[in-house]
Chains A and B, each alone.
Chain A
Amino acid sequence: MISTRQNGNAAHTEMLEAVRAAVKRHGASREELIPILTDVNRTVGYLPSEALEEISRLMHVPKSQLFSVATFYRMLSTKKLGRHVIQFCESAPCHVVGGREVWQALQDALDLEPGETTPDGKWSLVTVSCLGVCAVGPVVVVDEDIYGNVTPDQIPGILAAYE
């Protein structure tokens, strides 16, 4: 723990800043917990243990409860993810219009199982439930970019657009 803090001192301070800013923006009331966690998750990329400790201290909410909430919601992650996160919709509307083939193409291209991150830390591949853009299924979301009507042969081109 101490060595990581020394290595990433600047990152650590930055992370604490993000936490404090989020708590300040929303106010330290329990009702604002999920917006605060969402904010921190967006700024830092995930919810490191130290961030939850700081939130716990500022909001007077036990850390166990923070973990319980943070692990419940799909958009919050307590694990560090890759630089780019690929979300693949595995719900029925995308499935019946060719989702299976697109999923196969994604796995082939990245050699990842759902929930895994590439060793170079570039890609994380996650499966998600319906994203609400079903009329253009199959749907793949990379970071915040939505790709609809995806076919397996488009996958390499889509992935190539990210550094």
Chain B
Amino acid sequence: MKAFRSMVLVSSDPASLAHGAEEVFQRLQQEISAFGLQDEVTVSMVGDIGRHDVSPLVIVYPEAVIYGPVRPEDVHFLVEEHLYKGRIAAGLQASLRELSGRIAWLSARKGTMPAEYRIVLERAGLIDPTSIEDYIVHDGYAALGKALSEMTPAQVIEEVRRSGLKGRGGAGFPTGLKWGFVAKASGAQKYVICNADESEPGTFKDRVVLEGDPHTILEAMAIAGYAVGATEGYIYIRGEYALAQQRLHLAIEQARELGLLGKNILGSGFDFNVHIHAGAGAYICGEETALIESIEGKRGEPRARPPYPTTNGLWNMPTLVNNVETLANIPAILRNGAEWYRQFGTPSSPGTKVYTILGNVNVTGLIEVPMGITLREVIAIYAKGMKNGKTFKLAQTGGSSGSIIPASLQDTPMDFDSFNKAGVSLGSGALLICDEDTCVVDLARVLIKFFRKESCGKCTPCRVGTERALQLLTDISEGQGELRDLDELKIMSENLAVLSNCGLGQTAGTPIRDILNHFRAEVEAHIRLKVCPTGICPMHPVGKRVRSETPVLA
């Protein structure tokens, strides 16, 4: 592929054509050749750019400067100033208010469904992910250009802080605050890590961003690097995501060719490199300190915290770790401003959230909606109702470490604060929607089995607790449960939450806590009546298994 330093686009909607767009285009070609820039600058006619007040428009990328109205006699000056001398051609820019104007067809399409608003997924699925040009045409690298040329690192952090963006990996930590910690930390070298080890069962939103819009992550990482003072970035991506890895490698190569990564980005003196580190299949590596251990070539066992990665991260240096979805919000926030971002979502949780909808519903897939939408709305509007006209029983959020949300909470707004108050968690954005035929004991058993398998084994509460909890739940599902098992399970889930070293163990007991809180009668039916109300559990010993009597923890 031939790479150009700059790309010039001329609008060719009817109004532009009526105002001499064709002539402007020809003049541009002539002038670019006259300055000997034909190998560095590409110029093309595009369709409707979405503004008819100042046509014809000329947009110069990667700086994303919009000129208009441009008359044929302006072209010589424009090419000389912007493309030859590298500065904005004074007096030709379209008025400032209009600079944030969206490209028409993107503005018209805010998602595929009502009330959906796409910030993170704005381009995914719409642009060619293997073309940096396509990305640049759709505002790509404009935020990086703005940050490097108009903002100090402190201003970038302040803008992110004011946007109210919270980490989308599950914990909901304020992003601006985290950036500030890393910026303040001292170290010979700082790092930015994109956590793309998306392994939470039921979650695949990050994969869609990485496969459909890889450059947005590179741009956001470079902005983060500039803000916190890091020059090296790592994308830790799960080993199973082969296509996303391939797309990222290509994107990095393209960005380097155009000088959007590497040394002296956009002539600003700022250097930033991105490396890709593929995981090898371990859920625990989504935990930030385990992820760092894994990049260092070790077993992915979480470290004790504090100290946090913000001061002692990769190779013991200050490290910023952000999730893919969190980072994908950054370019839009910088382009449009914190105020703009805060108009979406709720005051305490601004912005949008990407959810994966799964389970016994008519439509499964991915949506991006403002924070604060309710589960009932998701099921009715986006999932098009329950499959086969069944009744909604529960939803399991955020993959395995999320909560089990009973139908009684389906009108709780889905944002960090409202969910915390209701005693449940939003998690990573998976919504596993289950109908009346779902057995809560069976579901909890499957969830605990996952944790038992994925526990790294470093700390005892998690290693032993998940094993024992699985034994007890299996006993109950095989009709061998006793009422005292429920007390033990309750203690176990509390112990896991308080005593475990990392987030995996701390949340492993959540499904148990939730089924005992919300579905105790159904669990007790398995024990008192030896009946599984939904008919899912076998209710008799499977294989040679006998009830395990020795309590490991009590």
Contacts and interface: CB of A to CB of B under 8 A. Distances in A.
Interface of A: 29-35, 37-38, 65, 68-69, 72-76, 90-93, 95-97, 128-137, 144
Contact of B366 (A37, A68, A95, A135): A135
A91 B202 contact: yes
Given A37-B280, A72-B299, A74-B282, A97 B443 contact: no
Residue from A33, A69, A130, A131 having most chain B Cβ neighbours under 10 A = A130
Interface stretch (B91-99, B235-243, B464-472, B491-499): B235-243
B204 A133 contact: yes
Contacts of B203: 130, 132, 134
B359 A91 contact: no
Nearest to A144: B242
B423 interface: no
B198 interface: yes
Interface in B315-362: 356-360
Closest 4 CB pairs of A and B: A74-B281, A73-B280, A91-B201, A33-B297
A133 B281 CA distance: 15
Contact of B359 (A65, A68, A97, A130): A97
Contact of A75 (B281, B283, B297): B281
Interface string B191-209: 0000000111111100100
A119 to B, nearest CB: 21
B279 A73 contact: yes
Contacts of A92: 201-202, 396, 400, 432, 443, 446-447, 450
Interface string B363-384: 0111000000000000000000
A76 B280 CA distance: 7
A31 B201 contact: no
Given A93-B430, A135-B366, A38 B280 contact: yes
A130 B202 contact: yes
A29 B449 CA distance: 36
Contacts of B240: 75, 131-132
A93 B432 contact: yes
Interface of B: 198-204, 207, 238-242, 277-283, 294-300, 356-360, 364-366, 396, 399-400, 430, 432, 434, 438, 443, 446-447, 449-450, 453-454, 456
Given A97-B360, A130-B199, A132-B240, A91 B281 contact: no
Contacts of A68: 299
Given A32-B297, A38-B280, A75 B359 contact: no
Contacts of B241: 132
Contact of B446 (A35, A90, A132, A133): A90
A32 B278 CA distance: 10
B359 A93 contact: yes
22 contacts: A33-B297, A34-B280, A65-B298, A72-B300, A74-B281, A75-B239, A75-B280, A90-B446, A90-B449, A91-B400, A93-B201, A95-B443, A96-B434, A96-B438, A129-B283, A130-B201, A130-B203, A132-B203, A132-B204, A132-B238, A132-B240, A144-B242
A135 B358 contact: yes
Contact of A35 (B278, B283, B366): B278
B443 A96 contact: yes
A134 B430 contact: yes
Given A72-B456, A75-B280, A92-B201, 6 more contacts: A91-B400, A96-B443, A129-B454, A134-B430, A135-B204, A137-B358
Given A93-B359, A130-B201, A73 B238 contact: no
B455 to A, nearest CB: 11
Contacts of B201: 91-93, 129-130, 134
A31 B443 contact: no
B296 A30 contact: yes
B294 A34 contact: yes
Contact of B365 (A33, A37, A74, A135): A135
